[in-house]
Amino acid sequence: MTNRKFRVWLAALGITLLAGLAACQSAGKEKKFGYSMGGIDHLADNLSVTDFWVNGAAGQQAGTGNAGVSAPLLPVKWRPGMTVHVVWDVRDWQHDKGSTYVADVPVEPYPEDGGDLWVHFLANGTVRVVVADHGPRAPDYPGPHDPIPMKEPWYMYPARTESRDWDERLLDARIIKQRCASVSDPATCVKQENEKILDDQRADARRYLPQCASIKTSYESQECLRNADQSMRAARFARRCQVSPGLPECAPQKSTTTTSHRDAGAPSQ
């Protein structure tokens, strides 16, 4: 290669590299915005979006329309085909199970002045992502106006949780150990018995707690919860005595009557 040809080739390479660098700098300087983000839960009463993420940014629990966390960055200029990566957890309170879903969701057109990012989890299982400078309850909101249920799943669909205190757990452990001592597979027996206790506690909660859901005042609600707790404790006690009637706690209570000398027939003065 002659010196002239080499210089021409080198100059062309330099121009190509500079053009590529300029393009990278231009792309890197693309104006973006990221305001607040909120999730809208349109699901049925027994379902809740307990957590969600958009392009890795955590949105926490979806609710009725409060944008309270930071949104991921989006280009100032909307372009066709723009999507965000959404991951969300759904809890089924009625059946006490959860599922995780993933989808690349199109971002609906938005103006260059941007706005908050709203993620709608619709009742049919689909997701819509809307950018707007006003909330989903506003009449001119550009996104869906599907119903947003007000729900209290903890009251209506109590989860399968542990309600016993430490003394109760120790007592039940002794009972289970005795019941499973003579079976061929004690470990499996113990596991099954503990699972049954949790299932029974969930059944108790779903029997007694939903009646507290409609109570509005704080005092009456707390009183209702205390009464429900006593009823659930009594139900556990009854089951315990049914399988182990020999427990001291299950012995019939003897009524005692204390009488004074006068009541016993002492002569009156």
CB 232 within 8 A of CB 198: no
Stated as kind and residue range, the H or E segment containing 12 is: helix 3-28
Distance, C-alpha 79 to centroid of its chain: 34
Stated as kind and residue range, the H or E segment containing 40 is: strand 36-41
Q: Cβ contacts of residue 232 below 8 Å, gap of 6+?
A: 163, 201, 204, 205, 208
- Return the DSSP state at 63: B
pLDDT tens for 87-134 read 999 999 988 899 999 999 999 999 888 899 999 999 999 999 999 988
Return per-residue pLDDT of the chain as tens, 269 residues. 555 444 444 444 444 444 444 444 444 577 888 889 999 999 998 999 999 999 999 998 998 877 778 999 999 999 999 999 999 999 999 888 999 999 999 999 998 888 999 999 999 999 999 999 888 889 999 999 999 988 877 778 888 889 999 999 999 999 999 999 999 999 999 999 999 999 999 999 999 999 888 887 889 989 999 999 999 999 999 999 999 998 888 888 665 554 444 444 444 43
State the Cα–Cα distance between residues 165 and 98, nearest whole angstrom.
Answer: 27
Q: Cβ contacts of residue 207 below 8 Å, gap of 6+?
A: none
Which residue ranges make up each domain of the chain? Answer: 32-151, 155-246
CB 57 within 8 A of CB 39: no
CB 152 within 8 A of CB 213: yes
| Token digits of residue 115 | 């706005």
- Grouping H, G, I as helix, E, B as strand and the rest as coil, residue 107 is strand
Query: Interhelix angle for 186-208 vs 218-243, to 10°?
Result: 150
Stated as kind and residue range, the H or E segment containing 120 is: strand 116-121
CA gyration radius for the chain? 33
Distances (CA, A) of 112 to 25, 71, 74, 91, 107: 21, 16, 11, 36, 14
37 φ, ψ to 5°? -135, 145
| Token digits of residue 88 | 């969300």
Stated as kind and residue range, the H or E segment containing 5 is: helix 3-28
